């Protein structure tokens, strides 16, 4: 018979997402209603590993009052705090070390019975490894604006990111049309195109480029020229940060300072914009929406989903569940085995309704053969329709 859960630890790991504070509030209130203790781990797992003062904070009704609508997380987060590759200073260098045993020892020392790990696919994979290493009971809560966690229909944070991206695309329509430009908008999503797909359709984009569909430039140019022939002298191109040219790789840029440089996805919008300008002669600009997609408070949908996930996590713990992940399936919150979802990525279904709808509306994904979009009339003399080689 499993040990009764009396004291719960909770952390928020990976990139932040709107709705994290709503999860913390729901977990805390649901636990308080049952007479359970909840303690928050600061900055991912750092508060448990480092033994810093204030690394563990008691969460009670007062601590979570008024946070439900706020963005970010009152616990802080870390996307480079993997306890199995924990950054550790040795002299003047930082090297990764396995600190998982230290984490588990502190977990038992503090008298915790269960861990609620709130995070994306990377955080959930770490949670599963901790279970395999000996942590007794873990419930994962799927969080990411990318919506790429396997096993759940939606993650909280995604709806907010799509709403922000859609509003940005809406605003770009007026300025792009006024100047008769092509605007290329780069959105987050890593290796899944959910944000670009949903916001691109809702925002009226003419071209949507996603990682699941390697693109060629010819169909994109054909689409822009088609619009020109119809008297529409501007176009909106939405591109996910992980989109790739057919036969090529992702676009990487380096961020950081002289002491620490990190390679991250980014820069594809600029590359696409330069190629469109070269091939069409049209003024083309690029814009990266970036971390605006993560910031601010959650939408009503995300707030409610986060509350449902948080309350569900506590409910499953007190019901004597095995380690798992709360998930949204057919409008209901269920618990799925953590081992079945950890380390897997949910990508866009290319035969799903969203992609089908976009194609039926004439949105280009960069994979259609040239000529699919026939020109309806002569092009303006200022445009050169001759395809030029990639630079």
Catalytic residues: 146
Neighbours of 89 (CB within 10 A): 8
How many other β-carbons are positioned within 10 Å of the β-carbon of residue 76? 16
Picking from 22, 31, 54, 25, the residue whose alpha carbon sits closest to that of residue 41 is 54
Other CB atoms within 10 A of residue 101 CB: 11
Environment class of 352 (CB within 10 Å of its CB; exposed 0-12, middle 13-18, buried 19+): exposed
Q: Which of 180, 241, 168, 178 is nearest to 205 (CA)?
A: 168
**Structure tokens belonging to residue 125:** 């994979």
Compute the half-sphere exposure of residue 288: CA atoms within 13 Å on the CB side of its CA.
15
For residues 241-275, b (16+ Cβ closer than 10 Å) or e, as one string? bbbbbeeeebbeeeeeeeeeeeeebbbbbbbbbeb
């Amino acid at each position: 018979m499993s040990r009764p859960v009396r004291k719960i630890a909770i952390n928020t790991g990976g990139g932040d997402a709107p709705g994290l504070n709503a999860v913390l509030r729901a977990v805390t209130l649901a636990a308080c209603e049952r007479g359970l203790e909840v303690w928050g781990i600061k900055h991912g797992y750092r508060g448990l590993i480092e033994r810093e003062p204030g690394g563990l904070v008691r969460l009670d009704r007062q601590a979570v009052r008024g946070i439900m609508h706020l963005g970010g997380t009152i616990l802080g987060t870390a996307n480079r705090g993997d306890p199995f590759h924990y950054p550790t200073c040795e002299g003047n260098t930082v090297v990764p070390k396995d600190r998982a045993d230290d984490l588990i020892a502190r977990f038992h020392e503090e008298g915790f019975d269960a861990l609620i790990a709130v995070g994306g696919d990377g955080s959930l994979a770490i949670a599963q490894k901790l279970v395999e290493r000996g942590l007794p009971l873990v419930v994962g809560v799927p969080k990411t604006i990318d919506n790429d966690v396997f096993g759940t229909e939606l993650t909280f944070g995604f709806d907010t990111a799509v709403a922000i991206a859609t509003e940005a695309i809406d605003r770009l329509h007026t300025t792009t049309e006024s100047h008769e430009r092509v605007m290329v908008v780069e959105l987050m999503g890593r290796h899944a195109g959910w944000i670009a797909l949903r916001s691109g359709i809702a925002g009226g984009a003419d071209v949507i480029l996603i990682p699941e569909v390697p693109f060629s430039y010819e169909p994109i140019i054909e689409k822009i020229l088609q619009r020109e022939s119809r008297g529409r002298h501007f176009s909106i191109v939405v591109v996910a940060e992980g989109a790739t040219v057919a036969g090529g790789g992702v676009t990487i840029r380096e961020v950081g300072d002289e002491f620490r440089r990190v390679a991250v996805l980014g820069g594809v919008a600029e590359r696409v914009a330069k190629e469109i300008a070269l091939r069409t002669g049209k003024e083309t600009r690029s814009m990266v929406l970036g971390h605006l997609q993560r910031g601010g408070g959650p939408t009503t949908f995300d707030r409610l989903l986060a509350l449902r996930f948080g309350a569900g996590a506590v409910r499953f713990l007190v019901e004597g569940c095995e380690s798992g992940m709360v998930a949204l399936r057919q409008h209901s919150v269920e618990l799925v085995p953590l081992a079945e979802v950890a380390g897997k990525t949910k990508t866009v279904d290319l035969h799903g309704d969203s992609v089908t709808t976009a194609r039926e509306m004439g949105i280009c994904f960069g994979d259609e053969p040239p000529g699919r979009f026939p020109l309806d009339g002569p092009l303006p003399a200022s445009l050169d329709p001759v395809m030029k080689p990639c630079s």
